Amino acid sequence: MKVFSEEGKTMKKITLEVNGKKVSKEVADHTVLSVFLREVLNLTGTHVGCDTSQCGACVVHADGKSIKSCTALAADLDGSKVTTIEGLVSNGKMHPMQEAFKKLHGLQCGFCTPGMVMSAIDLLKHKKNPSDKEIRDWLEGNICRCTGYQNIVAAVKEAATKM
């Protein structure tokens, strides 16, 4: 159902399952998922680096697939299951991909890390034992300005042995 706010913007009530919890909120039709997650739900682990789908810092999973949340409209995902970097922790324990990034120092400043981790998890759903080239090709849409990617590739390979 669409309604209009005082400012005249078209609003829509959406319901999502975010990190295993049902959330119902009213959002403007033009609200992108990254803004919804960060500003409405206060899930700030999803980073926004470019707003143009170039850097990959905003990658989350929607219905099990990695997407760039800065270009996905929250209203279009009504009824979806969304997992953010915060949703990977289970019973206080980090996901094997997070552990591998930590262990092998697959990060420096950490800005790209949430998107890298989410993309890498999606890769391992499709390819259990990827080569270095396959990892680099899959992560091509995720930009890291600090690491040179070598430790990121090593972390993905390490996580592949644990997942």
Q: Which domain holds residue 41?
A: 2-88
Other CB atoms within a 10 A radius of the CB of residue 27 amount to 21
Q: What is the pTM of this model?
A: 0.91
Mark which of 48, 72, 88 sits at the end of a domain.
88
Q: 110 and 126 share a domain? A: yes
Tell me, what CATH number does 103's domain have? 1.10.150.120
When divided into structural domains, the chain yields a total of: 2
- The answer on 62 and 106 residing in a single domain is no
Q: Answer yes or no: are the C-beta atoms of 31 and 38 closer than 8 Å.
A: no
Name the token pair of 93: 């324990």
Q: Are 103 and 84 in the same domain?
A: no
**Residue 145: which pLDDT band, with cuts at 50, 70 and 90?**
confident
Rounded to the nearest integer, the mean pLDDT of the chain is 93
In this structure, are 82 and 9 located in the same domain?
A: yes
Q: How many CB atoms lie within 10 A of CB 82?
A: 26
For 130-142, write each residue's pLDDT tens digit: 999 999 999 999 9
Per-residue pLDDT of 77-93, as tens digits, reads 999 999 999 999 999 99
Tell me, yes or no, whether 150 and 112 share the same domain.
yes
Same domain, 49 and 6: yes
Which domain CATH number covers 10? 3.10.20.30
User: Taking residues 47-57, what's their average pLDDT?
Assistant: 88
